[in-house]
């Protein structure tokens, strides 16, 4: 019996060390949206097409940022998304991704939102890394502003999701709050179609600043990206647990 207890404790410890959330997400559906796409630059006309972003018309998608050394944001975003999907599925969740490869273009922001809506996701997270001023560091979480008839149904739960993500990301990765934008790591926006068109609680993570040397080194490291995924998984688990 003592041996069994010791083995179980060891298994729990190993799971903890690997950063796995507890298997608490059974019955939950989570939409993960890795921002941009590796083929966007080759399909400039397609991604420049204007679509309805709720409050205004906006490009279908954009190319995204890159580090000074040439590591592209779209690769970062997909890598973190795939790592996150593994963790969430292991915890019992149903996971839907807006894209699973980095070779195509889009999808348009309208479709990215529609994918989370169609599966009635319990939560949706869009993964990005910013292209800010080289002198500025840090991450921020963007949540939808309350817009009557558009986001008034998701603004409050999205804000709670943003708080959970800010806390888990800060403690899980050590990345500081953005020094050049947002306020204490949080920003409310009304210009993002991916948020405006969402009918499910949704936030954007700007995981760091790709144009800053320190952040770029972190975002380019696979070990750091695993920590990002672990932190996002913990945030989702904590948010969903609180929702009941």
Catalytic residue numbers, as ranges: 206
Nearer to Zn ion by Cβ, of 128 and 170: the residue is 128
**Rounded distance, CA 81 to CA 124, Å?**
12
Q: Which of 34, 35, 38, 194 binds Zn ion (CB under 5 A)?
A: 35
Q: Apex CA 118: angle with CA 115 and CA 119, to 5°?
A: 95
Q: Is 128 in the site for Zn ion (CB under 5 A)?
A: yes
Residues 6+ apart with CB under 8 A from 127: 32, 33, 34, 35, 77, 80, 81, 84, 204, 205, 207, 232
**Rounded distance, CA 108 to CA 209, Å?**
23
Nearer to Zn ion by Cβ, of 64 and 144: the residue is 64
Residue with the shortest CB distance to Zn ion: 128
Rg for the chain, CA atoms, rounded: 18
Distances (CA, A) of 48 to 56, 76, 138, 184: 14, 22, 29, 32
Rounded least distance, CB 38 to Zn ion, Å: 13
Rounded least distance, CB 33 to Zn ion, Å: 10
Structure tokens at 4: 């069994």
Nearer to Zn ion by Cβ, of 64 and 157: the residue is 64
User: Are residues 29 and 42 in contact, defined by beta-carbon separation less than 8 angstroms?
Assistant: no
Stretch that binds Zn ion, among 92-100, 125-133, 136-144, 185-193 (CB under 5 A): 125-133
Stretch that binds Zn ion, among 56-64, 112-120, 149-157, 171-179 (CB under 5 A): 56-64
Nearer to Zn ion by Cβ, of 76 and 83: the residue is 76
Residues 6+ apart with CB under 8 A from 198: 113, 116, 117, 124, 144, 151, 154, 158
Nearer to Zn ion by Cβ, of 28 and 143: the residue is 143
What is the size of the binding site for Zn ion (CB under 5 A)? Answer: 3
Contacting Zn ion within 178-197 (CB under 5 A): none
Rounded least distance, CB 127 to Zn ion, Å: 8
Rounded least distance, CB 167 to Zn ion, Å: 22
Residues that bind Zn ion (CB under 5 A): 35, 64, 128
């Amino acid at each position: 019996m003592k041996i069994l207890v010791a083995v179980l404790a060891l298994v729990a410890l190993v799971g903890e060390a690997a950063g796995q959330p507890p298997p608490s997400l059974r019955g939950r559906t989570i939409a993960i949206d890795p921002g941009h796409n590796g083929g966007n630059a080759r399909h400039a006309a397609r991604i420049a097409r204007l679509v309805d972003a709720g409050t205004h018309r906006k490009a279908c998608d954009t190319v995204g940022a890159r580090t000074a050394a040439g590591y592209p944001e779209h690769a970062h975003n997909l890598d973190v998304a795939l790592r996150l999907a593994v963790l969430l599925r292991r915890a019992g969740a149903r996971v839907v991704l807006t894209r699973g490869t980095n070779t195509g273009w889009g999808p348009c922001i309208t479709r990215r939102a529609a994918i989370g809506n169609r599966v009635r996701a319990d939560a949706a997270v869009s993964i990005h890394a910013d292209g800010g001023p080289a002198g500025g560091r840090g991450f921020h979480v963007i949540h939808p502003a309350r817009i009557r008839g558009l986001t008034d149904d998701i603004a409050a739960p999205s804000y709670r999701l943003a708080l959970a993500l800010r806390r888990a990301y800060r403690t899980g990765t050590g990345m500081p709050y953005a020094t050049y934008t947002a306020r204490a790591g949080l920003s409310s926006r009304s210009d993002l179609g991916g948020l405006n068109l969402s009918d499910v609680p949704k936030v954007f993570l700007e995981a760091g600043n790709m144009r800053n040397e320190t952040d770029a080194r972190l975002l380019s490291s696979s070990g750091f990206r695993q920590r990002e995924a672990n932190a996002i998984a913990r945030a989702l688990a904590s948010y969903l647990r609180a929702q009941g």
